[in-house]
Amino acid sequence: MKDLKSLKIDKIAMQGYGLGHLQGKTIFVPYTVPGDVVEIKYTHQKKDIAFGSVVSYTSRPSGVKDPGCEAFGPKAQCGGCDWLMADYSIQLLWKDELIHSIFDNIVPKERIHPIVASPRDTHYRNKAFYPVTSYKGRLSFGMYRGFTHDVVEHRSCKLQFEEFDAIARRVTILAQKAGIQAYQEEKHGGNLRQIGFRASSDHKEIVLILVTKSTKLPFSNLLVKSLTSEFPKLVGIVQNVNRRRTNVILGDEDKVLFGRPWLNESFMDLKFRVHYRSFLQVNPGTASLAVESIKPFLTGSRNVIDAYSGIGTIGLSLASLCRELTCIEETPEAVEDAKFNAETNNLSNVKFITGKVENVLEKLLDKKSAHDTIILDPPRSGVDEKVITAISGSALDKIIYLSCNPMTLARDVRHLQGKGFELVSLQPFDMFPQTWHIETLAYLRRKS
């Protein structure tokens, strides 16, 4: 075919792409690794760069393996994994390379530490939401194809806890018998939108979430009876109603069909209650390693702020190391969980503020503030400029910043270094094996 191009992949790039060069262009191709020689076709082009898809692999280097998943690769294009075909040790090397490519021009190389591996490299995610679709007249579920809302079916996802797929499969069978139709995004028709899960890290408790367009859910009593008898780990089944024509998964209405909307969790020797809406790191093994690594940075800290605190997993785990801990969180359910968790663990030096960090911090860090340390664990978008302004104008001496997006972390580190802080240590963690995503812990101190 005339439109096919032969390309050698030279390195790994952001977003998990393999990168090669051809006819003066930089080419980005998913599902490729350094050393691959592939036949590609362009999917779209710009002046100096292009994106391609693999038509066939001419040759592949050592370290490439059978991914063991029919949904992975250039044919099905499931968006869940990027590197399922690569040995885990090689994935870690790639992530180190990506971190250095982002931060080497910002901080001295010796302050960037090698990535810490995940205790588990498959079946590590304690949370999942599967979109539901209709295929040849039957209900099915899966993951979205990369950069689309087309659902790719799978038999057994390599990322999620293994129980999730069996329960989801049973839900679709029961819903099919009850005449429940899959939600149709383009027409805003049908009803069952997503099948979601939250599970405890010990796999003993699971909360199932059925996201629907309307409150009507035929034969819900029979569905609950069947599921709970077949899957005794289910401690709660929640119907979440999302009436809006939106890509946002959850709506504002909840109906508990069985049990409770929260589960019991253990983390860093503490007990936690986790509402299914509350934020909790999806990889509990790596999360505990990251929080443990924060402890040395709190030496000498007295009054600590835990911003974007969620249910308190980070802050409460470190509360015994400071005199006073102030948690800031905007999700009411998470704040209620955090208060309950502090009381359950007999932590009396903690107070809670409900609100957006960017709206709360300026008032909290006034001239009379005695806070000396702040812990930041923001969403992928990073911290708001108002947060950086409030920190720079305060008496805070230490910033401990846990980020799930190295690009926005780099942006924020640049800003903070321009506001009188210096990055002392950068420690990546593999929170998301089989994907290009990286969790990174940055420790900054105010310059003398």
Active site residues: 404
Q: Which residues contact 410 (CB under 8 A, 6 or more apart)?
A: 102, 103, 106
CA–CA distance, 127 with 101 (Å, rounded to integer): 30
Residue 334: φ, ψ to 5°: -70, -40
Residue 186, judged by CB atoms within 10 A of its CB (0-12, 13-18, 19+), counts as: exposed
Rounding to the nearest 10 degrees, give the CA dihedral for residues 112, 117, 118, 121: 130
CA–CA distance, 426 with 98 (Å, rounded to integer): 13
3-state percent helix, strand, coil for the chain, nearest multiple of 5: 25, 35, 40
Residue 439: φ, ψ to 5°: -95, 135
What does the chain come to in residues? 448
The DSSP secondary structure of 252-320, one letter per residue, reads SEEEEEEE-SEEEEEETTEEEEEETTS---S-HHHHHHHHHHHGGGGTT--EEEEET-TTSHHHHHHGG
CA–CA distance, 153 with 144 (Å, rounded to integer): 9
Report CA-CA distances (Å) from 368 to 350, 371, 429: 19, 9, 36
